[in-house]
Amino acid sequence: MNVQELVPLALPRGRPLSCELCGGPAQLRCGACHVTYYCDVDHQKADWVSIHEKICQLLIPIRTSFPFFNSEKERKHGMEQLLHRQKHLVDFTHKVAQKFVFEGKHEEAIPAALHSLRFSIDTCGPDSVELVPAYLILAEASTGLGRLTQAEEYLSQAQWIVLKTSDCSNGIQSKLHRNLGLLYAAKGNFEESLYHLATDIYFASCAFGTHDISTSGGYFHMANVFFRQNKMDIADSLYTEVTDIWHAHFSRLIQVQSQTLTTLSCMLFIHLKCFILNIDEAQQAEASQVLNAILDIREQAPKQQPAKTANVVHALAMLHYLIFDFPKASSTQKLNLKIRC
């Protein structure tokens, strides 16, 4: 990290500089990119750990003044390049924030999600439905940190945009209701939580199908609510459904891998794995978090169900295999066989 104190007399007049995280008056700037500002060292460190280290140099062409263009064609090309860079950063910062949320690193998720929100506003405007995913990640991270009032504010923004958007996708509405379900569960209002999670599952099923990994999150969070209500039979059936969905998904990916290996050399396959497997880091983090949570519940249950526990362990073994963590895949598979015996 390289940070510089701002010298007031050296700053451009009439252009107030604000902190990247809180919007307060800036006192420092990043010494590497020179285009990102902070109110104090704590906010600079938080942004660096979350996202700035990954995008520091990418911000320079976006936040630097345009050069003089000799023609309208050059100006148009420059604007297209800027928009392309901004859209790339919207997607990248969103994925980083989502991965942090799935890993339970809610504090680290917030700076990345704030970047995603700002870039979305720059590219699409302040009322676009494209802002909703960033608001939802900010809401989920705030809920995870116990900042429920802040989470409600983010969800209100997202809900207002969705209500104004006549053609809002089923996928977006699914995520909105999932976050509302999580918020009400955190408040202890389980009936309202179950209503929103059921609505989440409905919209996700319409968008992706009832047995897709995008729908499984709704089943998982609903199972957690029933678990907290001590309705163990319902929770058990939902945990089983979630496990089966991920198990089937990983089985399909391994089948694709096996078919690919028949036509590609191992070395070429390793270089192309990210294109072949169709599982990104956020999905890996979600699968790991969900399956390990279910495994903990299975292992701590008063009445053991070896077959169901083994199915969770086998799904985790396949996940490790797919991300090329072969030692973990091997040890997890051995545990799977031990449970089944």
Tokens of 73: 């064609």
Q: Quick one: average pLDDT of 312-335?
A: 85
Separation CA 162–CA 139 (nearest Å): 15
- For residues 248-267, one letter each, b for 16 or more C-beta atoms within 10 angstroms of the residue's C-beta and e for the rest, the string is ebbeebeeeeeeeeeeeeee
Instruction: Decide: helix, strand or coil at residue 339.
Output: helix
pLDDT of 71 above 90: no
pLDDT at 270: 53
pLDDT at 275: 45
Burial class (CB in 10 A: 0-12, 13-18, 19+), 139: buried
Return the number of other C-beta atoms located less than 10 Å from residue 62's C-beta. Answer: 17
Among residues 283, 332, 282, the alpha carbon closest in space to that of 311 is found at: 332
pLDDT at 277: 52
Burial class (CB in 10 A: 0-12, 13-18, 19+), 131: buried
Residue with tokens 């936040």: 63
CB 334 within 8 A of CB 321: no
pLDDT at 145: 96
- Give the pTM: 0.87
Among residues 249, 262, 199, 193, the alpha carbon closest in space to that of 221 is found at: 193
Helix locations, the chain, DSSP H:
41-47, 53-55, 60-63, 72-102, 106-124, 132-144, 148-164, 170-187, 190-208, 213-228, 232-261, 266-277, 281-300, 306-322, 326-340
Among residues 145, 127, 134, 128, the alpha carbon closest in space to that of 98 is found at: 134
Span of 40-44, 90-94, 273-277 with lowest mean pLDDT: 273-277
CB 218 within 8 A of CB 288: no
pLDDT at 97: 96
Give pLDDT tens digits for 115-169. Answer: 999 999 999 999 999 999 999 999 999 999 999 999 999 999 999 999 999 889 9
Distance of CA 105 to the CA centre of its chain: 11
Among residues 306, 279, 287, 191, the alpha carbon closest in space to that of 245 is found at: 287
Q: Quick one: average pLDDT of 268-287?
A: 67
Separation CA 138–CA 215 (nearest Å): 21
Separation CA 208–CA 219 (nearest Å): 14
CB 228 within 8 A of CB 297: no
pLDDT of 267 above 60: no
Return the number of other C-beta atoms located less than 10 Å from residue 192's C-beta. Answer: 15
pLDDT of 109 above 70: yes
Dihedral angle, C-alpha 194, 196, 197, 198, nearest 10 °: 80
Find all residues with CB under 8 Å of 45, minimum gap 6, and list them: 1
The model's confidence at residue 206, banded by pLDDT at 50, 70 and 90, is: very high
pLDDT at 255: 86
